[in-house]
Amino acid sequence: MDNKQDLTNNYGRPVENDTSSLTIGEFGPTLIIDTQLTQKLAHLDHERIPERVAFARGAGAYGVFETTKSMKNYTKADFLQKESAQTKVFVRFSTFVLSKGSSEVVRDIRGFHIKFYTNSGNYDLVNIHLPVFYVRDAMKVPDLLHALKPSPVTNLILPERTWQYFSKLPETLNAITYLYGKYGIPANYIQMEGHSVCVYKWLNEDGDVFYVKYHFLPQKGAAYLTKQQAQEIQKNTSASATNNLYSNLSNKNYPKWDVYVQILEEKNLDTFPFHPLDTTKIWDEKVLPLQKIGTLTLNEIPDNFFEYSEQVAFDPGSFVAGIEASESKLLQGLMFAYPDANRYRLCINYPFLKVNRPLDGIHNYQQDGQMDIRNQKGEINFFPNQESNSLKENTSNQYSEGKYFIKGVVISRFKNEYNDNFEQAGDLYRSYSEQEKTTLIDNLVNALQGVSRPVLEQEIYYFYKADPDYGKRVADRFNLNLKNIVLKYDQSL
């Protein structure tokens, strides 16, 4: 007996022949009434959706987060209350700038985005592999991406465009010193670090507020490639990191990360030498030590790449009770940009896709819209109402939000020019070994080839401001007089 399922058309009718078009005679023209043919061709035409404007090239997997230390003194988030509690997660790794078909061994920031499926809703945590980002204000993100992406004229990556932008924003220097140093090309995804960069608020049952940063450190240790190693890999494949991830999962070599937080009490927010919400800076681990809170393990390859890795939609504003947004200018802008991009790519009902759906479903009176796959019933599509089986608000303390107290402040567009853009970049440079410094300089000299003289001199001046040796080494490689550059640009600041 044949137990195979019948192949059907898009309306459920079994198909007699799915390999031959309907024609007039064996060699005659094809008929437009061949709906099986037109359905197949039309679906092929519509298979691709808009790719992400950032973090387009990526791969995802399911796994579990296990809490190893109760954090109930700091947050009422349900999944962090009990030691040994386990929470299902979906993790998507990615490169930042280039498109879906690009190489996974380019010098670029990597995304490390996590969706926690908790018992009280989804919590999305957006991380990158570096502990700092290029800019501190979301207003700059569109221009940053334009400067990093290919030319609108030739569709080629032009260093002049990127470095022109960097030369006008010294706040990018810390990220540059990370990216063009030893941290620029992660060897794969399973030995890649993840850092929230943005600061979040934790809120406990008593209403106390704590500011936190997250850090995911691979148990196998972080691994990076040199430019030469990356070039060798790229000769054979552009998908080395995806292949490595899925090969390890297939062989049951499940990658693990230890999960840490740094915690800053609200009362100490003003004690920093810089604003602690600045995403171009790190928090000193000697002052705010890492505290381990859990372990992240990936253990499952999704059934379909498109349905999961492509349709997963992250929202930095998707919080659970006990976790809230800080006042970070970058975070608050991304809280609009991410879900807006999701609506553009996937449609308004993207939260109902399987990979995005909360464990307990979605219960509200929002309705209709493109691709509404819910089974909505009844007359009542508004709140409040008089129905006995109506949805209700949950007013328990568990789900209460933090309170803001704002008094006597000025609403304006503050540039935050008081932030020092050079100290941490200098500290990072001095922490590198002699060989690592040489590698950094080699990578920068290679990246700066062909840029205009004013742009080059401005960047060299920034390197000098971070550390005189940093600037001198780059200037010497271009046969430029550092003293003249310093005299010129000291006058302009």
Known binding site for heme: residues? 338
Identify the H or E element spanning 141: helix 141-148
H or E element that contains 88: strand 86-95
Residue 195 tokens read as 């850092």
User: Hey, CA dihedral for 281, 283, 284, 285, is it positive or negative?
Assistant: negative
457/483 Cα distance (integer angstroms): 11
Cα 363 from chain centre: 28
Taking a C-beta distance cutoff of 8 angstroms, is the pair 162, 108 a contact? no
For 419, counting Cβ atoms within 10 Å of its Cβ (0-12 exposed, 13-18 middle, 19+ buried), the class is middle
| Residue linked to tokens 């930095």 | 316
Cα 173 off chain centre by: 20
Is 213 within 8 Å of 262 (Cβ atoms)? yes
CA atoms within 13 A on the CB side of 170: 23
DSSP 387-443: -TT------SGGGPPP-----S---S----TTS-SSHHHHHHHHHS-HHHHHHHHHH
Element (H, E) at 466: helix 453-466
CA 140 – CA 170 distance, rounded (Å) = 13
The annotation places the binding site at 338
Rg (CA), the chain: 26
